[in-house]
């Protein structure tokens, strides 16, 4: 209840600020970047002058009519400004919460790259790239950097919103720390990688405020179209006055088109609806990403996400749960399953990895084998190394080992043993099912195979089916052998896979796909992912990843959830669909306004045009005012849709186009006829005609 009340208060505060900003943005210098609204504002100012002239008795039209047109034109501009201010306001609210995390931080700058080296206390804003600092428990990290010494738990809730601390340590893919986060335990020696004002937090604040959003290629193209249409209709309207004067003089009847009517006609001709909402749509798209805890480095990246053709998805943690679990004990001939389980459990007791713990649990569940105290038994633990690819225990003269089949085979051969054919067959079967075979040996005797399964995430197959319906191809990237990769790919429902993937292989694949004129999206967190991230069109770096990965990507996922890529694509497509739908609506609803306003504008000069008054509007003045009022109200009515986005459904492009043309194209034609007629009836009822 309290959180909902707080949310309502925040929203009310944003609305109040947006109303104030909408008025301050009436400055023509601000509207220069939006020519459609600038022309509307010039028209509003011009009609305001005409209203003053009419009040003094020198106008062409009734003062009340001119004043009403002027007021609604001002309302149109304010509504467009309000839409943009609302979109930016939500980003600024997020930026304000980020700014509160920035305090006057002092940093311990070391004179050498050692924890115990002498240090000098300096303000954090004086730190430069390359400086080395020590951060102790309870202190804030003074700048973005890489851990070069130490290991510590770090509270990153100020950035990510997640309360659970994370481990940061030197080396590997979890060495990056972010300015404004707090070290909770131990200490870290950090090499600063950003200059003042260039930290990740600084960039986040600038981006969520929209200050560095910039226009995307599609936005620029649409902007050029709107400018061109505005210029064309401006020229058309400017020529109507002399033509009408000539026509009235030649016919000897009627009067020239009034300037107020010409301004109203111009505003109704130019695409004011999309012109007023275009910027808000783009800013709101970025805001939806921020709500998903993703920071886009540019609006171009968000837009590209909507045009993505191929997704490169890492297997571990994205398609699968990431923690392989023991699924079965497969003994060789002459060995019982219980004997194999007992040896595998002994070898796994000191093993704290998820795989090792799952073997202990499976042996206990299947055969009631309880955990034993290795130290009490006098056993010596043999840890896993990248060279041996095995681990195990030495106990009572026994050498029990578990590990990769080829490594265990080499081990038993060194002791005079051999890998049985039944074990080789089990390795092939496990690999064919998408599992990982783990061989277990007791001295020179192979006991059997433990099957480890990398569990495919629930519902992932359905999500890939949705992407396929959208025309997006999915490619699983994994370091597994091709046989295992093929089995997991089939179970997950991906379209293709890249097995035994290296950084070079990923880069080659991305370039190959791009060479086919298709856009590629991928996720990554390690330094080895940086080349591929830099090459991809949409590159999502994990916040927990290395600085190199973050620098190479054009988006950062604060939650470090690899499946977020699917959500990013959905948001990108929603942005494009929203912009396309509202552009269709804006252009189509102008047609109805032509039927309302053109007969009214020229009725005095050409009475025969009254036949074109298909809506049966009361008077020319009522027709013009009704069109202007509808033009203003429709912008206000579409603000929630622009901020929320058009509802996205994962269907094919053709079906999606057909649906949007029906709803927003046909709807854009029908709605103004109904709306203008309703306003005209209201004006007539009030006697304002």
Residue 342 falls in the annotated catalytic set: no
Tokens of 224: 């050029």
| List of residues 6+ apart from 98 with CB closer than 8 A | 158, 159, 180, 201, 204, 205, 208
In the block, residue with structure tokens 């916040």: 543
Cα-flanking dihedrals φ and ψ of residue 308, to 5°? -60, 135
Q: What is the rounded distance in angstroms from the CA atom of residue 615 to the CA atom of residue 629?
A: 16
Q: Which residues pair with residue 473 across a beta bridge?
A: 310
| List of residues 6+ apart from 336 with CB closer than 8 A | none
Radius of gyration for the alpha carbons in the chain, expressed in angstroms and rounded: 34
Residue 557 DSSP code: E
199 touches 158 (CB < 8 A): no
Q: What is the rounded distance in angstroms from the CA atom of residue 447 to the CA atom of residue 453?
A: 20
H or E, element range at 362: helix 354-367
Q: What is the rounded distance in angstroms from the CA atom of residue 495 to the CA atom of residue 653?
A: 19
**Which listed residue (202, 314, 454, 557) is catalytic?**
314
319 touches 490 (CB < 8 A): no
Q: What is the dihedral of CA 295, 300, 306, 307, to 10 degrees?
A: -140
| List of residues 6+ apart from 472 with CB closer than 8 A | 308, 309, 310, 311, 569
Of 179, 56, 187, whose CA–CA distance to 125 is shortest? 179
Long-range (24+ apart) CB contacts under 8 A made by 340-343 are: 340/440, 340/447, 340/448, 340/450, 341/366, 341/367, 341/369, 342/367, 342/369, 343/400, 343/440, 343/442, 343/447
Kind of pairing between the strands at 187-192 and 106-110: unpaired
Query: SS3 sequence, 563-590?
Result: CHHHHHHHHHHHHHHHHHHHHHHHHHHH
437 touches 426 (CB < 8 A): yes
Tokens of 115: 């924890």
E-strand spans in 275-428? 294-296, 310-314, 325-331, 380-382, 390-395, 398-403
Distances (CA, A) of 337 to 331, 405, 440, 446: 5, 18, 12, 13
* Triad 559, 165, 209: Cα angle to 5°: 45
E-strand spans in 268-351? 294-296, 310-314, 325-331
A 10 A CB-CB count for 26 gives 16
Classify 145 as helix, strand or coil: strand
Long-range (24+ apart) CB contacts under 8 A made by 209-213 are: 209/88, 209/91, 209/92, 209/95, 210/87, 210/88, 210/91, 210/283, 210/286, 212/298, 213/282, 213/283, 213/286, 213/298, 213/299
Would you mind telling me the total number of residues written for the chain in this entry? Answer: 689
Which positions are annotated as active-site residues? 314
């Amino acid at each position: 209840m309290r959180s909902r009340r707080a949310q309502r208060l925040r929203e009310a505060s944003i609305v109040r600020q947006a109303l104030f900003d909408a008025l301050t943005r009436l400055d023509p210098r601000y509207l220069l970047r939006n020519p459609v609204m600038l022309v509307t504002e010039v028209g509003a100012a011009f009609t305001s002058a005409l209203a003053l002239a009419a009040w003094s008795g020198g106008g062409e039209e009734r003062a009340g009519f001119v004043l009403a047109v002027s007021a609604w034109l001002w309302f149109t501009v304010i509504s467009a400004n309000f839409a943009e201010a609302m979109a930016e306001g939500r980003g600024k609210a997020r930026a304000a919460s980020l700014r509160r995390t920035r305090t006057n931080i002092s940093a311990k700058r070391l004179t050498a790259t050692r924890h115990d080296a002498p240090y000098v206390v300096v303000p954090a804003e004086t730190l430069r790239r390359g400086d080395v600092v020590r951060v102790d428990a309870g202190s804030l990290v003074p700048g973005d950097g890489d851990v070069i010494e130490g290991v510590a738990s770090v509270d990153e809730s100020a950035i990510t919103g997640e309360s659970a601390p994370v481990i940061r340590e030197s080396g590997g893919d979890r060495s990056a720390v972010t300015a404004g986060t707090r070290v909770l335990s131990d200490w870290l020696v950090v090499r600063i990688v950003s200059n003042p004002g260039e930290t990740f937090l600084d960039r986040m604040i600038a981006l969520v405020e929209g200050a560095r959003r910039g226009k995307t290629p599609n936005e620029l193209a649409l902007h050029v179209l709107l400018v061109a249409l505005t210029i064309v209709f401006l020229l058309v309207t400017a020529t109507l006055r002399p033509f009408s004067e000539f026509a009235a003089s030649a016919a000897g009847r009627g009067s020239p088109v009034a300037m107020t009517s010409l301004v109203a006609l111009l505003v109704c001709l130019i695409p004011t609806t999309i012109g007023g909402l275009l910027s808000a749509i783009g800013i709101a798209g970025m805001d939806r990403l921020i709500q998903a805890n993703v920071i886009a480095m540019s609006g171009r990246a968000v837009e590209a996400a909507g045009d993505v053709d191929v997704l490169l998805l890492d297997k571990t943690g994205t398609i699968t749960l990431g923690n392989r679990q023991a699924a079965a004990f497969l003994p060789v001939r002459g060995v019982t399953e219980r004997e194999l389980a007992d040896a595998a459990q002994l070898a796994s007791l000191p093993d704290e990895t998820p795989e090792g713990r799952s073997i202990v649990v499976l042996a206990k569940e299947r055969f009631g084998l309880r955990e034993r105290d290795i130290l009490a038994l006098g056993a010596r633990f043999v840890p896993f190394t990248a060279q041996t690819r095995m681990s195990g225990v030495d106990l009572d003269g026994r050498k029990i080992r578990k590990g990769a089949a080829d490594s265990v085979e080499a081990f038993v051969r060194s002791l005079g043993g051999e890998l049985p054919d039944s074990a080789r067959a089990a390795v092939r079967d496990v690999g064919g099912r998408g599992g990982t075979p783990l061989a277990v040996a007791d001295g020179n005797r192979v006991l059997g195979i433990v099957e480890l399964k990398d569990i495919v995430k629930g519902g992932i197959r359905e999500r890939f089916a949705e992407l396929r319906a959208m025309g997006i191809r999915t490619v699983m990237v994994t370091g597994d052998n091709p046989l295992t990769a093929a089995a997991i790919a089939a179970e997950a429902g991906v379209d293709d896979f890249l097995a035994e993937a290296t950084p070079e292989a990923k880069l080659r694949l991305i370039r190959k796909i791009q060479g086919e004129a298709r856009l590629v999206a991928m996720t990554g967190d390690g330094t080895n992912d940086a080349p591929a991230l830099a090459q991809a069109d949409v590159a999502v770096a994990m916040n927990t990843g290395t600085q190199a990965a973050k620098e190479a990507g054009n988006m950062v996922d604060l939650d470090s959830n690899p499946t977020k890529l699917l959500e990013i694509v959905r948001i990108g497509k929603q942005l494009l669909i929203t912009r396309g739908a509202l552009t269709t609506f804006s252009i189509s609803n102008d047609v109805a306004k032509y039927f309302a306003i053109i007969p009214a504008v020229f009725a005095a000069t050409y009475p025969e045009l009254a036949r074109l008054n298909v809506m049966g509007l009361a008077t020319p003045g009522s027709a013009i005012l009704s069109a202007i009022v509808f033009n203003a109200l429709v912008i206000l009515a579409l603000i929630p849709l622009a901020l929320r986005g058009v509802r996205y459904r994962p269907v094919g492009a053709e079906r999606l186009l057909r649906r949007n043309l029906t709803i927003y194209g046909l709807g854009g034609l029908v709605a103004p006829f109904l709306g203008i007629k309703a306003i005209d009836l209201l004006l007539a009822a009030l006697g304002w005609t």
